[in-house]
Structure 1
Amino acid sequence: MNLKQPFVIYRENENNTEGTDWLLISDLMSGLLMIFALLVVVTLFQLKITQEQIQNKRVIVIQALQEQFNANGISAEINPETGDITLLDSVLFDFNKKQLKQEGKDFLIKFIPVYSGVIFSEDGISDEINRVIIEGHTSSDGSLGYNMQLSLGRANSVFQYIHSMPHESNKEAFLQKIQVAGRGPMDANSHHSELEDRKVIFRMQFKSEDAFSKVLKLKK
């Protein structure tokens, strides 16, 4: 009887060890789940903070632009949510043309100093704005390939004229932020007039907006 006792004790110890192992694994999994849940909460909190930062900065820039446009007698359509500024084709170009007409040049001479002046009015604003995208658009008349070239040509004509304008203190810094894009008839709407479809849009992109996009990618 005594000879079997060590064997029984050994089996009991072995069983206890297996139970302990499973308990440790269970605790580890629970800990990992808690860490994962905490990371999700932190990520959602960061998303909320970033969204609020983007919105606050947009509001400041949009209000400043609207005030300066009103003060300088500049007629430009500002989207109150995004800050996008739409310049209609009737102001800048003739029908089916990518060369700026004189009326368009006169408008840009007034518009650009005010627009860039707001962007560089404070270091906090200029540092936050990564890019200014100049988008050219067209109506849906004609082939897609032709309209894409026409829209890009219009955006590039605006950029080239800005480049040729008289030197200002922030001109070079402003040019470095500009990116041109042609959207062709992608945003054309059958309910719009042709003048509304053939437009140029100045669109700002913020650093915090890029950070927000990166957080969204990480979340996915």
Structure 2
Amino acid sequence: MDKIEHIFQTSVEQLVREIVAVNHAWKAARELFGDDSPVSTSTRDLKTCLQVRLLREHAPDQVYLVKDSAASNELGEEIYSLQLRNKVGDRLYAFAQGSIELKPEGKDFLRRFIPVYSRVIFSKPEIENEISRVVIEGHTSSEGDDKTNMELSVKNFKMVTTK
């Protein structure tokens, strides 16, 4: 790869974070609007583009294809999955245990996720017209009693939606 191409190459970690964010948006769109809605198909297509970019920029050193036998048998065609040679990231816990303060990685995730999600929602009028609401969900840990966890959830929701 020449020097110019290297400047524009996105890191594996960044592409994986974007793929995960778009995948969450795609799952939510499918639940809210169905598999064939414009927002569902657009987010699926965006995820596919990001996966192709990951493969093009980082194969075979950091990512490779593997045949998904179960999905292939179920669908009657060959289906492949991307596999990373090294683990990237970990599950995001945006808030510290029992806290309403967003952790730096939670803020960073929201800073990256919201623009990607917004671009998908507002990318075409037919998608934008399908959106009547955006649902923000979060979960507390199972530690503590239900009342305390519910109060913490409400405070966390307010923290995320007002920042």
TM-score (norm 2): 0.49
Structure number with the higher helix fraction is 1
Q: Which is richer in strand?
A: 1
Question: Rg bigger for which structure?
Answer: 1
Q: RCO higher in 1 or 2 (8 Å CA, sep ≥ 6)?
A: 1
TM-score (structure 1 length as normaliser): 0.37
